[in-house]
Amino acid sequence: MNATGNLEIIRQEFVETGNISLGIRPEIAASWQRSRQTGVNPEDGVSHVVLNSQQLAELRLHKHHLISTAQPIIDKLHQLVTESGFIVLLADDEGYVIDIAGDKSTLTRAVHLNLYLGGNWQEREVGTNGLGTALALNHPVQISGAEHYCDKLRGWTCSAAPIRDLTGHIVGALQMSGPCSRAHLHTLGMVVAAVEAIQGYLDIEEKSHRLTVLNNHLNSIFFSVSDGVLLINQQAEIQEVNPVAEKILAYPAAKICGQRITRFLDLKPHALETLGKGSPLASAETAFYGKHDPAYCRLSAKPLKDEQNNILGNILFLKPIDEIKNPANRYTAVPANFHFSDIIGQNERLQTAIKLALLAAKNDANVLLQGESGTGKEVFAQAIHNHSSRHTGPFVAINCGAIPHELLASELFGYEEGAFTGAGRGGRPGKFELASGGTLFLDEIGEMPLEQQITLLRVLQDQKITRLGSSKVISTDVRILCATNKNLKEEVKKGSFRQDLYYRLNVIFLQLPPLRERKDDIPLLFSTFQTAVCRKSGITLQSIERNILEHLRAYEWPGNIRELQNVVERMIYSTPNGVLSTELLPQEILTVAASAERKSHSDPKQPLKMKMLRQQFRQSFAEHERQEILTLLSREVGNVSAVARTLGISRSALYRKMHQFKLL
């Protein structure tokens, strides 16, 4: 006689006499004893305690958190055993079934036993069974065939495990049930693994709730202190600011959060190093840059660490200083924010310019940047300054073409009170004084009048200036960066630019390519601008027509990168439904695209050329998208929602892209 037959005989003997022979598992024997003591009918096996629809609805609402947490795990478990004849059940701590999924034919069989939503499956109701016995024993158990106490359950195999919360209390149980003929030990292992996953999610959510409560207490303190307070992460990005800090910086929290701290505070290298190491920062005088003129404050900082002593970031305290130590400070420009990492593009000519600019940053030689309007000359200038030995000094910019000729000298060299009609009381320092110890960026140098070119040449030779209306000579220590959209060699030939000044300025020459000569960078630029605009505006894009990139490539871009950025921003703000279509492109771009299309029809070889270019273009854009998604997924530790928000697209659109790039 086989083991199943022996088990049947043992069970029948127990039912008749109450005696249990050897050869049965202790936990099964104990469960039979409990079933007999509570008066369970061994010929039954149907749950007779079933909630009505209203009671079930109330219970499911009460257990919504457990159901919603377990639902994805149940779905995954069901997918693994689909068409195997198994069903998956979730019960509460009292044994009531609150969720169920599985094979339709098995579900139909289960209905006859009231093994469905609202049925109670404690041992005292239906005897030995998976859910009831797991809850009674407080550990996982598998019940198969004749191990069930009741006759009607002998055709089933049930694997169940209790679910515990963070404190160890049982909150429910999970079970897989199916035909007894398909009983296997690995089924219990799957259930146990699923329960561990559910418990893991419950633990995380409980800890999150506790942190929320703690955070609310901390917020009440955070928003009531008299000093300005900023929370920054390890990347020196501002995460939170209190109302006092908003008032000091004269920006709302929405404009401050997400920015690097160096956007608002002039932190010296040693201060940044101290913050990075997680060491406290004593009260130090620091310049801060709000919406208004730069000013000074007292800064102190303390590190934020987790329970493992890992550095999470820092909390900074700001206290404004009423007396401004440097009176000239109120005339300085906004600090240089751009670095070489902000220069977007892989084009060979652009990369050559970047390499030369990096070399220029290592010395104090004068640099002449030449390029059309909108090619990023000031971005290069700021990057050179920020990577030079003068990066802790001021970066002062002046547009020589935007200032009336008669006022240019006073702007560059300053003036004393009464030097000319309209001169401000007390006089004013010039840009050379303000840039001392740092960098002076002379934009549109080709527009400087000849008489000022002579004065500038003398200052560059002597490193000394004299304010208008003064005889006092002031020494300067300034690194000169110049930019122009003109060909200064041609201007020298015309006599509109001094040759000696040209050679004095043109120690290192950087030619920045126009966008029409680096169209291979358009996908990268488009993607970068699109992400930035969506993040700033909160607009979520559903899709982007591929033809847009082809139209952008066909256009010549007289306004260069600045024009492309404006076009991308205008399109996103104009989209009615989150879809970027070619209809949103400016008319001048559509006209050029239509002309290119007509030309391709007239040239028999043109369609093939265009097809190859389109393919290369799409591949370039796709590879950039793939790398950007990979980078963001790594940074956000796999948080798809956060990545979608950063990219400015919906979660479904992101999932489509991940499938497309085989990232799932």
Lowest mean pLDDT among 82-91, 259-268, 474-483, 634-643: 634-643
Residues contacting residue 143 through CB under 8 Å, at least 6 positions apart: 28, 128, 129, 130, 133, 157, 158, 160
Domain 340-513: which CATH number of 2.70.70.10, 3.40.50.2020, 3.40.50.300, 3.40.50.880: 3.40.50.300
Is the pLDDT at 37 greater than 50? The verdict is yes
Q: What are the residue ranges of helices labelled H in 155-252?
A: 185-222, 243-249
Residue % of the chain over a pLDDT of 70: 86
- Please state, in angstroms and rounded to a whole number, the distance separating the CA atoms of residues 272 and 268: 6
Amino acid identity, position 176:
M
pLDDT computed for residue 457 by the predictor: 93
Is the pLDDT at 271 greater than 90? The verdict is no
pLDDT computed for residue 603 by the predictor: 53
- 557 — alpha (psi -120 to 50), left (phi > 0) or beta? left
Fold of 3-207: Beta-Lactamase (3.30.450)
Element (H, E) at 326: none
Q: Are 507 and 365 in contact (CB under 8 A)?
A: yes
Please provide the CATH number assigned to the domain covering 223-325: 3.30.450.20
Q: Are 560 and 374 in contact (CB under 8 A)?
A: yes
Domain ranges, ordered by start, for the chain: 3-207, 223-325, 340-513, 517-660
pLDDT tens string 186-232: 889 999 999 999 999 988 888 887 777 766 766 666 666 778 888 88
Domains 223-325 and 340-513 share a fold: no
In 3D, which of 136, 137, 143, 172 has the Cα closest to residue 45? 143
Question: What is the torsional sign of CA 509, 337, 448, 518?
Answer: positive
Query: Which has more confidence, 473 or 478?
Result: 478
pLDDT tens string 414-449: 888 766 655 555 577 889 988 888 999 999 999 999
- Please state, in angstroms and rounded to a whole number, the distance separating the CA atoms of residues 126 and 132: 8
Amino acid identity, position 345:
G
Question: What is the torsional sign of CA 280, 281, 282, 283?
Answer: negative
pTM over 0.85: no
- Please state, in angstroms and rounded to a whole number, the distance separating the CA atoms of residues 65 and 61: 8
pLDDT computed for residue 330 by the predictor: 39
In 3D, which of 243, 252, 436, 207 has the Cα closest to residue 332? 436
Lowest mean pLDDT among 57-61, 299-303, 348-352, 478-482: 299-303
Lowest mean pLDDT among 52-56, 364-368, 369-373, 606-610: 606-610
Domain 517-660: which CATH number of 3.20.20.80, 1.10.8.60, 1.20.1070.10, 2.40.30.30: 1.10.8.60
